[in-house]
Amino acid sequence: MSSRRIRLSSRALGDLRRCIVHVYDTADEMCAAGTRFNHNDLTGSAGITQSYHDAETDRTFVPVVRLYRDRLGIRVISHEMHHAATAIYGSTQPNDVLPSAILTHHNEPFAYLFSDLLAHLVVSLYRFGYYE
């Protein structure tokens, strides 16, 4: 099994926040890695987002995105980057914040976090030869 590890980061929320992306050669390799991570059957997934959690708070501290070569189109990578950005952003919010207070078109920090992660991933995919 082979994969490329890509490290992404953003300061859109102030402190540096990180995300790890693995790009596998095949869907089977990606799904097997995802299954090893949390023991869930992930067969048939186009992409996977999982995360490392802080045991004390049960909050995400590093999302792990898994992709594979044949599904690196904008639909899949933007979908998975949205999951990663949501996990990061959600981990910075107090438990008593209502989703309706932050899930609006006025949420610039979240928009910048998402666009930072997505842009950094696309640049990396070009740099590593996944796109021409």
pLDDT tens for 85-106 read: 999 998 898 888 877 778 888 8
Residue 79 lies in a domain: yes
Residue 42 lies in a domain: yes
Residue 132 lies in a domain: no
Number of structural domains (the chain) is: 1
- Tens digit of each residue's pLDDT (9 = 90 or more) over 108-127: 999 999 999 999 999 999 99
Mean pLDDT of the chain: 93
Q: What is the C-alpha to C-alpha distance for residues 47 and 60, in angstroms, rounded to an integer? A: 18
pLDDT, residue 97, reads: 83
Q: Which residue has the higher pLDDT, 54 or 119?
A: 119
pLDDT, residue 103, reads: 80
Residue 34 lies in a domain: yes
Residue 109 lies in a domain: yes
Give the predicted TM-score (pTM) of the model: 0.92
pLDDT, residue 102, reads: 80
Residue 89 lies in a domain: yes
With bands split at pLDDT 50, 70 and 90, how would you rate the model's confidence at 1? low
- Tens digit of each residue's pLDDT (9 = 90 or more) over 19-42: 999 999 999 999 999 999 999 999
In which domain, by residue range, is 75 found? 3-127
Q: What is the average per-residue pLDDT within 47-62?
A: 88
